[in-house]
């Protein structure tokens, strides 16, 4: 075997770099959003991290490799037309949007109120559309961009006590396709990540029950539940030039859960 060092084709490496790009990540103060912010930063992007918890956002900012701006906001009630204006003035135009903020109240159908239904649909489905629409004109002017939504296993199948959440995530899958149809002609690739079971605040009820967690792991083809680091590669990939001919897709990162 040769002792020569392995060399990387610069052109190939350039497909995955995000140097010079600015990425907005919602829900960045915890869970999947936090992990996406860190992964995109490691790939070279400047991050606009949006979340409700100021202390958690400050902690995330300390983990970013390439700097950025924290925006404390509750997107369920914020004025989406102006919530990012100050941050964008500091970082420059946005190239990447990760619509990751979400809520799952895990209510039985009989307990769902109009208020809880509206909150779930608003934060999980309505906000991603209107926030994207605010940023799309800037992406169009620069000849393209990337939008990454967060779908769910419930975009494809039903789970107990999640009717509102499932409806919203089914909507996210279709919203992603509709975004692609509307905007990909302008070079804006719109895709969604469909996570399996990952340990986050939204899935605490699942992972707190060892029997349930193990049953979910057994339903995957790989035989384990996800680690947040499993989302690093797919996030960077969909945000990068390597995915320039991929749009309107939901990519399940679920260890093969949906394959069985």
Mean pLDDT of residues grouped by 10 in the chain (260 residues)? 63 89 97 97 98 96 94 96 96 97 96 98 98 98 98 96 97 98 98 95 85 94 96 98 98 96
Q: CA-CA distance, 181 to 166, in Å (whole number)? A: 23
Token couple for 38: 């860190």
Residue 151 near residue 175 (C-beta atoms within 8 A): no
pLDDT of residue 191: 99
- By the 10 Å C-beta count (0-12 exposed, 13-18 middle, 19+ buried), 19 is classed as exposed
pTM, whole model, 2 decimals?
0.94
pLDDT of residue 12: 80
Which of 221, 254, 245, 49 has its CA nearest to residue 150? 254
Other CB atoms within 10 A of residue 241 CB: 16
- Catalytic hit among 165, 183, 197, 198: 165
pLDDT of residue 200: 87
pLDDT of residue 6: 65
For residue 252, indicate whether it is catalytic.
no
Fold of 12-198+231-253: Rossmann fold (3.40.50)
Q: CA-CA distance, 200 to 206, in Å (whole number)? A: 10
């Amino acid at each position: 075997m040769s002792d020569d060092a392995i060399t990387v084709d610069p052109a190939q490496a350039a497909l995955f770099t995000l140097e010079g790009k600015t990425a907005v990540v919602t829900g960045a103060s915890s869970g999947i959003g936090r992990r996406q912010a860190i992964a995109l930063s490691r790939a070279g992007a400047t991050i606009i991290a949006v979340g409700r918890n100021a202390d958690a956002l400050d902690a995330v900012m300390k983990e970013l490799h390439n700097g950025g701006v924290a925006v404390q906001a509750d997107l369920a009630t914020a004025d989406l037309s102006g919530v990012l204006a100050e941050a964008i003035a500091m970082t420059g135009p946005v190239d990447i949007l990760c619509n990751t903020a979400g809520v799952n109240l895990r209510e039985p159908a009989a307990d769902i109120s109009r208020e809880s239904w509206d909150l779930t649909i608003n934060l999980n489905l309505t906000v991603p559309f209107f926030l994207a629409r605010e940023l799309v004109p800037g992406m169009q002017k620069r000849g393209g961009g990337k939008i990454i939504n967060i779908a769910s296993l419930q975009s494809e199948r039903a789970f107990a006590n999640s009717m509102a959440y499932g409806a919203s995530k089914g909507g996210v899958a279709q919203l992603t396709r509709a975004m692609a149809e509307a905007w990909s002609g302008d070079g804006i690739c719109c895709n969604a990540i469909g996570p399996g079971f990952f340990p986050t605040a939204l899935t605490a009820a699942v992972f707190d029950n060892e029997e349930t967690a193990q049953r979910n792991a057994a339903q995957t083809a790989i035989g384990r539940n996800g680690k947040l680091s499993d989302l690093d590669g797919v996030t960077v990939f969909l945000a990068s030039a390597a995915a320039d001919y991929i749009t309107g897709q939901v990519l399940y990162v679920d260890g093969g859960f949906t394959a069985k």
